[in-house]
Structure 1
Amino acid sequence: MTTEQLYQIFLKHPVISTDTRKIAPGSLFFALKGDKFDANTFAEQAVSAGVAYAIIDNAAYRLGEQYILVDDVLTTLQDLARYHRRQLTIPVIGLTGTNGKTTTKELINAVLSQHFNTYATQGNLNNHIGVPLTILSINATHEAAVIEMGANHQKEIGFLCTISQPTHGLITNVGKAHLEGFGGVEGVKKGKGELYDYLAGDEQRVAFVNCDDTVLMEMQHGRDLKQVVHYGKNEPGSLVSGQIIANSPFLTLQWTNRKTGDIYDVKTLLTGEYNLPNILAAICIGLYFKLTPAEINAGIGGYQPKNNRSQITQTATNTLICDYYNANPSSMFVAIENLGKLDAKHKVLVLGDMFEMGDESAAEHKAVIRKALETEVNQRIFIGGEFFKAGESMDHGPWSIDKFYHTVEQAIAALKDEPIKDSTVLIKGSRGMALERLVDLF
């Protein structure tokens, strides 16, 4: 069956299912393979649950006309998404970056949704499966789309661009993450830059670039980008500039439309000065697409962070900054700096190991410890084998003042014995550390 033939079936059944626990009746079931499963074995179950067709790549599981046999299910899903994308004529904003991708995507969606029927990547479905599923969720009622693209090795963003085919693009930043897969910081830079590579050379494609970021500006100038729109703190040539006027712990922003000179204030539900460029990016895109200042401020002010990304949680005894969805050296540094700047009486750092650091792990964990020691807080807690080894090997490890624990379980036991109260607490670490287990203790 050709992609075009399958697309005609998709038009009649425009919902995709990949999990037999969440089957949508009348949908198309794509029997994807994982490291520990082969969904071909669930095809019959999917058909019994009410799917219209099951797309499989193992002939042994073809039990009738409702089973469509293809060479490779994942490739077929990606090809179908590419075909569907070519039928769309709406603006598609693609974004990637080391930190802030999901928050920026949500902010852009919150702004554009004030004026357009917008579809955005759900959660962090930003990989070789998530991007095709996102594209295939866009229908004729949508007027704009925001597609997040993630990567942990080179050539991945370029590949995802062939599926999402963005008309507009944004890189939030380039930092130290997935160093093992990318082969170092230069590898990260090259990998994220594949979005600019896709946009380059086309008169109709637009790049939104943070002009305060010297790395992004260097990357921009190294490519033949035909249309570039800048945003930043105070750059005269930008479309929008802005600054933080309050951070206690929620941000209040003052921003300027550089074309008109008009100035506006907006209160947010975000914390962290590192979110300033993310907010400015969303404002910039809102202005570019001719939203009114009132619409832009409604989107920014109404956005409430979730999924443990810079999320403020008020307990009976503490204010928690829950930022443990992910962590890398770049995001660790800015989160630590932000806690140091907050107007709070008693501040506590709780930091968990960073994953996927490869050969740089020891050096990067030491660097984070040094950054934490330089920051004016009242207490520091480091959790995980990498932090423990790094702290132990440092010449001036602050063992008498700051606490290092091999495991989360050890930290939990210690916090039960010595509970923390009346504090502003940053909890940050890689997702694999599962630091949400600490929240009840605060």
Structure 2
Amino acid sequence: MKKFTLAEIAASCGGKYVGEEALKNTSITSVERDSRAVKDGSLFLAIKGERVDGHDFIEKCYDSGAVCAICEKAPENPKKPYILVDSTLNAVKDIAKAYREKFDIPVVGVSGSVGKTSTKEMLYAVLSQRFKTHKTQGNLNNELGVPLTILSMPEDTEAAVIEMGISDFGEMTRLARVAQPTICVLTIIGCCHLENLGDRDGVMKAKTEMFKYARDGAEFILNGDDDKLSTITDVSGKKPVFFGIDSKNDYYAENIENNGEGGVSCKLCFGDTKLDVIIPAIGTYMVSNALAAAAAGKLLGLSDKQIKNGVEAYKTVGSRANVINNGKIRIIDDCYNANPTSVKASLETLKNFRGRTVAVLGDMKELGTDELQLHFDTGAYAKQIGIDVVLAAGPLAKSLADGADGKWYETKEELIKALPEIIKEGDTVLVKASHSMQFEKIVEFLK
């Protein structure tokens, strides 16, 4: 990482440095929250969690090579310096903000109700054609994850793509203050986290908090097909760049063909350019993600060839529309998370596969007072587009099964027991639910 001294770190978070004065100019090599990841030169974040208190591991981290600890209470036997703060979680945001300001590079902030991770990966694939690009790893997109992502940027980083996830008002403001995006990308304003955000207008208000701490001169890339985002005509005196399937957008698509496992082919259109691409993914919604990445690429000076090569280099990550073929059935492992918008998109993807289509769906969490109706409507949509079999598990998913005229099971264990009698050779099976439902166990059974 770039040179970052203990003195700078203490000053950035308003912490009290305790230790030898001569060591204040020591530079750190990494920032770690997991004591097992500490190495020579690390700064250790002592965080008190629900089950484990990082303060109990400070001395072990010193022995493993940590040069300093950020902590809320002094270690009993401080062998090395420590920085005392009121809140380690708040301090790491201030520290990350200071580290971010050492970089004069494009930073793309990505958010939205659906498609944050797949859009982030598409942006990374495209920008990597020109820049040494840093990106969010795994699900590090919250108030701890975003700072850790920033603090893991190597010294030679030329561009960064930062995924920013929120569930309440104010969170995006705090994330944007750390990331200070030079390009803001918003995918879709959907029905998620409605327990806190109320309705889609609330979701829009919370997501667009990103704009507040965007760098001066920042660009804004928004989904023009979204009825909420399309109403934004000006951000800080700047006209947004709109992307979407519809030709009204600055970046739009033609000749879209979904070939299942063969990918999605289309023309990406912008200005006088029409790029023929094959997106190596199964969902038609990936076309919008590719358009967002094309818009960012053009703003950052990439050539049309670099954009095409980047789109076609896209790779699916984790349990997100990952196709598994075990020789008898195809499994669409999309069980990382779920809300009505993302489930409907996944059902549309499922419909493109040959043979019998089976949707194995579970509870969608944090949908607020209308949660049962939203589940019912999602099930009704599956029936409307002709999904052959809908199986649902979980208390909320009973309404989904009712809407689909499908089969409902109280628990995923009961559903798993029933699968051998239901699934047939040649089926394509979509598995999707909120992460807390642990539907990855169903995927493992099907495999």
Residue 250 (structure 2) aligned to one of 233, 238, 242: 238
- What CA deviation, in whole Å up to 9, does each residue of 1:378-404 have, x standing for no partner? 21111112112664xx5x873xxx321
- What CA deviation, in whole Å up to 9, does each residue of 1:23-50 have, x standing for no partner? 2332110101223332111111211222
Shift of residue 240, structure 1, vs aligned partner: 5.3
Which runs of 5 or more structure 2 residues have no equivalent in the other structure?
A: 1-5, 13-22
Aligned residues of 2:44 and 2:58 also touching (Cα < 8 A): yes
Q: Amino acid of the residue matched to residue 260 of structure 2?
A: S
- What CA deviation, in whole Å up to 9, does each residue of 1:395-428 have, x standing for no partner? x873xxx321111110111113444321111111
Matched, 1:441 2:431: no
1:338 aligns with: 349
Matched, 1:382 2:392: yes
1:411 aligns with: 415
Residues 441, 258 of structure 1: CA spacing in aligned structure 2 closer, same or farther, 3 A cutoff? closer
Matched, 1:253 2:268: no
Aligned residues of 1:3 and 1:79 also touching (Cα < 8 A): no
Task: Report the Cα distance in structure 2 between the residues aligned to 1:5 and 1:343, rounded to whole angstroms.
Answer: 56
Shift of residue 124, structure 1, vs aligned partner: 1.8
Aligned residues of 2:277 and 2:312 also touching (Cα < 8 A): yes
Residue 67 (structure 2) aligned to one of 43, 52, 55: 52
Shift of residue 239, structure 1, vs aligned partner: 4.7
Within a 5 Å distance, the mapping from 1:185-264 to structure 2 comes to 185-199=200-214, 204-218=217-231, 220-221=232-233, 223-235=235-247, 238-239=250-251, 241-259=253-271, 261-264=272-275
Residues 240, 375 of structure 1: CA spacing in aligned structure 2 closer, same or farther, 3 A cutoff? closer
Residue 96 (structure 1) aligned to one of 105, 111, 121: 111
SS of 2:440's partner is: helix
Residues 194, 295 of structure 1: CA spacing in aligned structure 2 closer, same or farther, 3 A cutoff? same
- What CA deviation, in whole Å up to 9, does each residue of 1:47-88 have, x standing for no partner? 122212222111254523333323322222111111111221
Shift of residue 300, structure 1, vs aligned partner: 1.5
Residue 185 (structure 2) aligned to one of 155, 170, 180: 170
Task: Report the Cα distance in structure 2 between the residues aligned to 1:61 and 1:356, rounded to whole angstroms.
Answer: 42
Residues 296, 420 of structure 1: CA spacing in aligned structure 2 closer, same or farther, 3 A cutoff? same
Task: Report the Cα distance in structure 2 between the residues aligned to 1:173 and 1:116, rounded to whole angstroms.
Answer: 27
SS of 1:170's partner is: strand
Residues 361, 211 of structure 1: CA spacing in aligned structure 2 closer, same or farther, 3 A cutoff? closer
Shift of residue 203, structure 1, vs aligned partner: 5.6
Task: Report the Cα distance in structure 1 between the residues aligned to 2:252 and 2:329, rounded to whole angstroms.
Answer: 36
Aligned residues of 1:427 and 1:435 also touching (Cα < 8 A): yes
2:41 aligns with: 26
Residues 240, 361 of structure 1: CA spacing in aligned structure 2 closer, same or farther, 3 A cutoff? closer
- What CA deviation, in whole Å up to 9, does each residue of 1:359-389 have, x standing for no partner? 2221111111211221212211111121126
Matched, 1:425 2:429: yes
Aligned residues of 1:205 and 1:227 also touching (Cα < 8 A): no
Residue 381 (structure 2) aligned to one of 371, 379, 382: 371
Task: Report the Cα distance in structure 1 between the residues aligned to 2:432 and 2:342, rounded to whole angstroms.
Answer: 9
Aligned residues of 2:268 and 2:277 also touching (Cα < 8 A): no
2:321 aligns with: 310
Matched, 1:114 2:114: no
SS of 1:12's partner is: coil
Aligned residues of 2:252 and 2:268 also touching (Cα < 8 A): yes
Which 10-residue stretch deviates more, 190-199 or 158-167? 190-199
Aligned residues of 1:309 and 1:322 also touching (Cα < 8 A): yes
Which 10-residue stretch deviates more, 121-130 or 67-76? 67-76
Residues 59, 111 of structure 1: CA spacing in aligned structure 2 closer, same or farther, 3 A cutoff? same
Residues 257, 418 of structure 1: CA spacing in aligned structure 2 closer, same or farther, 3 A cutoff? closer
Matched, 1:128 2:132: no
Aligned residues of 1:114 and 1:295 also touching (Cα < 8 A): yes
Residues 5, 156 of structure 1: CA spacing in aligned structure 2 closer, same or farther, 3 A cutoff? closer
- What CA deviation, in whole Å up to 9, does each residue of 1:244-274 have, x standing for no partner? 2233244333234533x23222222211122
Count of paired positions? 431
Task: Report the Cα distance in structure 2 between the residues aligned to 1:69 and 1:203, rounded to whole angstroms.
Answer: 33
Shift of residue 116, structure 1, vs aligned partner: 0.5
Matched, 1:292 2:303: yes
Which runs of 5 or more structure 1 residues have no equivalent in the other structure?
A: none
TM-score, with length taken from structure 2: 0.90
Task: Report the Cα distance in structure 1 between the residues aligned to 2:211 and 2:92, rounded to whole angstroms.
Answer: 25
Aligned residues of 1:241 and 1:256 also touching (Cα < 8 A): yes
Task: Report the Cα distance in structure 1 between the residues aligned to 2:303 and 2:404, rounded to whole angstroms.
Answer: 53
Aligned residues of 2:131 and 2:159 also touching (Cα < 8 A): yes
Aligned residues of 2:258 and 2:282 also touching (Cα < 8 A): no
Shift of residue 128, structure 1, vs aligned partner: 0.7
Residues 41, 417 of structure 1: CA spacing in aligned structure 2 closer, same or farther, 3 A cutoff? same
Residues 198, 4 of structure 1: CA spacing in aligned structure 2 closer, same or farther, 3 A cutoff? closer
Task: Report the Cα distance in structure 1 between the residues aligned to 2:408 and 2:207, rounded to whole angstroms.
Answer: 34
Shift of residue 5, structure 1, vs aligned partner: 4.8
Within a 5 Å distance, the mapping from 1:176-187 to structure 2 comes to 176-187=191-202
Aligned residues of 1:329 and 1:368 also touching (Cα < 8 A): yes
Residues 62, 92 of structure 1: CA spacing in aligned structure 2 closer, same or farther, 3 A cutoff? farther
Shift of residue 358, structure 1, vs aligned partner: 3.0
Task: Report the Cα distance in structure 2 between the residues aligned to 1:11 and 1:298, rounded to whole angstroms.
Answer: 42
Residues 174, 11 of structure 1: CA spacing in aligned structure 2 closer, same or farther, 3 A cutoff? farther
Task: Report the Cα distance in structure 1 between the residues aligned to 2:274 and 2:25, rounded to whole angstroms.
Answer: 47
2:369 aligns with: 359
Which 10-residue stretch deviates more, 112-121 or 240-249? 240-249
